[in-house]
Amino acid sequence: MTQAALAAGLEPCVHCGFCLQACPTYLVTGDEADSPRGRIALIRGLAGGRLEARDPQVQTHLDRCLGCRACEPVCPSGVSYAPALEASRRRLADERTIPLSVRAVHAVMADRSLGRVVFPLARAVRPLARRFAGPSRLGLAFGMLAATRPRRCPAPKERGAWTPEPQPAEAPTPRRVVVFAGCVQDGLFGHVHRATARVLVANGYEVMEAPDQGCCGALHAHAGQHDDAVRLARQNVRALAALAGDALIAVDAAGCGAMLKEYDRLLAGDPLETDARRVAARTRDVSELLAARGPRRGAPLGLRVAYDPPCHLLHAQGVAREPRQLLAAIDGLDQVTHVGAELCCGSAGSYSLAQPGLSGEVLGYKVEAIRRVRPDVVATGNPGCAMQIGAGLLAAGESIPVVHPVELLDWSYRRAGYYDE
């Protein structure tokens, strides 16, 4: 890796400090080195040879970054921070060993044969996980597992007359889509995939199959495991690039969506770069697809919902309006806003394993903000966020469920009689 590649995208930074109040770790620690501005100085030091990758202070402060990318949209100079962070962590990975817990989780995600053993075991234990949930590290792990279980739609608080939306006289020609499988989303949140498929079909899409998909490689790239990320990206590009016609790729996990949309950057110069560009151009978050078709209105649920936007949907993909359009399609849904909804929950992939203390502090702010608005349910569009927030709420003694926004629309459509599944 060249020195220029390490700091690519950071040249516009003028150290103005607009990023400070957007950075969750800086808000917790108050340490300039734990801010984007401070980390940019460290990365520039690495690139210029003034700092070494084996320096404990360099490692500490770059490791503490959540990679939430909240600094990017608030930067008036247009600094491209995420690629430089990934490159610096790749450099650090050459100098030290990634924690065993992180490597173990990443191995399960990357190796489908391991996933076929671990995920069914996790689903078997899941019904008991809530009993052991709590504020300890082990308790949070059980809480995360408990947060992955499928939820049933609660009974409506108010029952009133509601008229289903009529089908248009001429239905639009179905647009073909493939639901991206991923790893954790497929292994522990298969119910979200199924809800996504049903809701897309109800809005005029034709859902296709695409075999041989796997982990998107996002967590590996963020941790500095560049070669593993490239290998996984190639696998998915081969599986998805050959989609016929104008077929799109629907993603219901924000972190995966952000990664697929940047496959052209990850595979720049690779023999598959052209196909990677095609995959990136076809990728859409499920909320983007639904907003493009309406979405069709659904029956009331009588719920008070707090939407918590995933960082890699809001900041990395810039998708802010569409998830709320999805929720607004549910007749009479009461959307409440909590303070700091745009801030990271502290999950950040495997961050909670590598940085449990700081992750817990960031999560604490999120949980307290949610508790203040007293929602019936929290909606978020990423599995890591659902697990982290769900575990935090359980540790705080709250039984507020955390679901994907598409699950709420699915419940609404089922209640409207659009399908019986």
Q: pLDDT tens digits for 390-407?
A: 999 999 999 999 999 999
Query: From CA 238, how far away is CA 84, in angstroms rounded?
Result: 27
Q: What is the pLDDT of residue 332?
A: 87
Instruction: Write out the E strands in 122-221.
Output: 175-179, 205-208
Cα dihedral 59/62/66/68 (nearest 10) = -160
Question: Facing residues of 298 across strands?
Answer: 330
pLDDT in tens, 159-196: 556 666 666 656 667 889 999 999 999 999 999 999 99
Per-residue pLDDT, 3: 57
In the predicted model, what is the mean pLDDT of the chain? 93
In the chain, where are the structural domains located?
Answer: 3-93, 137-162+296-416, 175-290
Taking the C-alpha atoms of residue 275 and residue 237, their distance in angstroms, rounded to an integer, is 6
- CATH 1.10.1060.10 describes domain 3-93: yes
Torsion of CA 160, 152, 339, 365, to 10 degrees: 160
Residue 5 pLDDT greater than 90, yes or no: no
Which of the four pLDDT bands, split at 50, 70 and 90, describes residue 242?
confident
Question: Cβ–Cβ contacts within 10 Å for residue 391, how many?
Answer: 30
Name 173's Cβ contacts closer than 8 Å, sequence gap at least 6.
Answer: none
pLDDT, tens digit, 9 for 90 and up, residues 190-232: 999 999 999 999 999 999 988 899 999 999 999 999 999 999 9
Q: What is the pLDDT of residues 35-63, one digit of tens each?
A: 999 999 999 999 999 999 999 999 999 99
Q: Are 178 and 193 in contact (CB under 8 A)?
A: no
* Three-state secondary structure of 45-113: HHHHCCCCCCCHHHHHHHHCCCCCCCHHHHCCCCCCHHHHHHHHHHHHHCCCCCCHHHHHHHHHHHCHH
The answer to whether the beta carbons of residues 80 and 19 sit under 8 Å apart is: no
The predicted structure's pLDDT at residue 167 = 64
